[in-house]
Amino acid sequence: MKIGVLGAGSWGIALTELLSGNGHKVTVWSIDEAEIAMLREHREHKMKLPGVILKEDVLYTTKVEEAVLDAEMLVMVVPSPFIRSTAKTIAPFVKENQLIVNVSKGIEEDTLMTLTEIISEEVPIARVAVLSGPSHAEEVGKHIPTTVVAGSTDKEIASLIQDTFMSDYFRVYTSPDVIGIELGGALKNVIALAAGIADGLGCGDNTKAALITRGITEITRLGVAMGGKIETFAGLSGIGDLIVTCASKHSRNRNAGYLIGQGKTYKEAMEEVKMVVEGVYSAKAAMALSKKYGIDMPIVECVNKMLFEDLTATEAMKILLGRDKTKEAESLSWN
């Protein structure tokens, strides 16, 4: 299969190595000329994914049409703030029913749209699906066993993505719950910021376990209200992705949160991490969605206040622990 990978960051390169290793003909596009020049010369992204050497038959280009035209599948791997602009850029070259697989995570702040919704709006003639789950590029690039889920309302498309990406170290499941998969992938970044902040404060494993479990509760409440399925939030793109993003040394959201917990602003933290911290962009959208759907999300609310209203991490912890007493699960009751 001919595949165009749109984005040459660490995840784009890891997936390029996976797909070319599966026998597909891959063309990588980036708007950054220096990045493409480096990949052409070294077949390696020396800054974002050092040590992962790409096959000689992989092509690289700064001309988006070269990656889009004749491709049977497009893989969208640009950071979430650039999804809409990239979709606008490729739209003139996309063919009727061309498949676009979104592997980025986030929610657009202004419109509250998921990324597949944005792509579908900008490229209405395309078929759009999602691939998500606990999958750090640094580990996928080293062929460390990983599992993800392919989401599409069309069973055949989900199966096609499964067949295209699956390998002896990369296992792909399928699901029809596109909205649930995308919300799990986007909202977990906000909770991961909170987990990192707790680490920066010097809290322990008890605190992180509390944030993960109460965090998935918040994500599930909102996700189900928006049409997602509860099984999805108990799966790879829900609790699975949340665990890895809150705990991993590779997590840019957790690492940025750690710096915030030590007293840095979110802007200083993003500069030090040197990568797009999706949770910062998704935090406002998550708060807006919680208000729109009337869902109580205290962790998300505190993260927003820490990022944008100068609430200190210590004050946020006191707020969360001092909330009114309640049951753990509202659906459970005594006889």
Domains of the chain: which residue ranges?
2-176, 179-321
Task: Give the integer Cα–Cα distance in Å for 113 and 186.
Answer: 11
Q: Is 208 helix (H, G, I), strand (E, B) or coil?
A: helix
What's the rounded mean pLDDT across residues 270-276? 80
Question: What fold, for 179-321?
Answer: N-(1-d-carboxylethyl)-l-norvaline Dehydrogenase; domain 2 (1.10.1040)
Go through 258-273 and write b for each residue having 16 or more CB atoms within 10 A of its CB, e for each that does not.
Answer: bbbbeebebeebbeeb
Of the pLDDT bands very low, low, confident and very high (cuts 50, 70, 90), residue 332 is very high
Closest CA to 52 of 132, 148, 138, 169: 138
Of the pLDDT bands very low, low, confident and very high (cuts 50, 70, 90), residue 272 is confident
Closest CA to 188 of 127, 244, 120, 135: 244
| Beta-strand pair 73-76/99-102 | parallel
What's the rounded mean pLDDT across residues 190-205? 95
* Alpha-carbon distance values, 117 to 9, 102, 114, 148 (Å): 22, 10, 5, 20
Q: What is the mean pLDDT of the chain?
A: 95
* Alpha-carbon distance values, 17 to 63, 223, 286 (Å): 21, 33, 33
CB 186 within 8 A of CB 213: no
- Kind and range of the H or E run holding 6: strand 2-6
- Residue linked to tokens 């309302």: 153
Let me know the angle formed at the C-alpha of 10 by 4 and 11, rounded to the nearest 5 degrees: 55
* pLDDT > 80? residue 331: yes
* pLDDT > 90? residue 210: yes
Closest CA to 29 of 50, 70, 60: 60
Q: Considering only 35-49, 169-183, 275-289, 313-327, which range has the smallest mean pLDDT?
A: 275-289
The answer to whether domain 2-176 and domain 179-321 are alike in fold is no
Closest CA to 313 of 187, 193, 208, 215: 193
- Residue linked to tokens 């209203």: 309
Task: Give the integer Cα–Cα distance in Å for 129 and 238.
Answer: 17
Which residues participate in catalysis according to the annotation?
Answer: 188
What's the rounded mean pLDDT across residues 310-328? 94
Q: How many CB atoms lie within 10 A of CB 120?
A: 18
- Kind and range of the H or E run holding 80: none
Of the pLDDT bands very low, low, confident and very high (cuts 50, 70, 90), residue 28 is very high
Total residue length of the chain: 335
CB 45 within 8 A of CB 138: no
Q: Give me the CATH code for the 2-176 domain, please.
A: 3.40.50.720
Task: Give the integer Cα–Cα distance in Å for 273 and 267.
Answer: 10
Task: Write out pLDDT tens, residues 102-147.
Answer: 999 999 999 999 999 999 999 999 999 999 999 999 999 999 999 9
Task: Give the integer Cα–Cα distance in Å for 107 and 127.
Answer: 19
Task: Give the integer Cα–Cα distance in Å for 292 and 277.
Answer: 24
* pLDDT > 80? residue 276: no
Task: Give the integer Cα–Cα distance in Å for 257 and 42.
Answer: 33
Task: Give the integer Cα–Cα distance in Å for 35 and 47.
Answer: 10
Q: Is the pTM higher than 0.85?
A: yes
For the chain, the first-to-last Cα distance in angstroms comes to 58
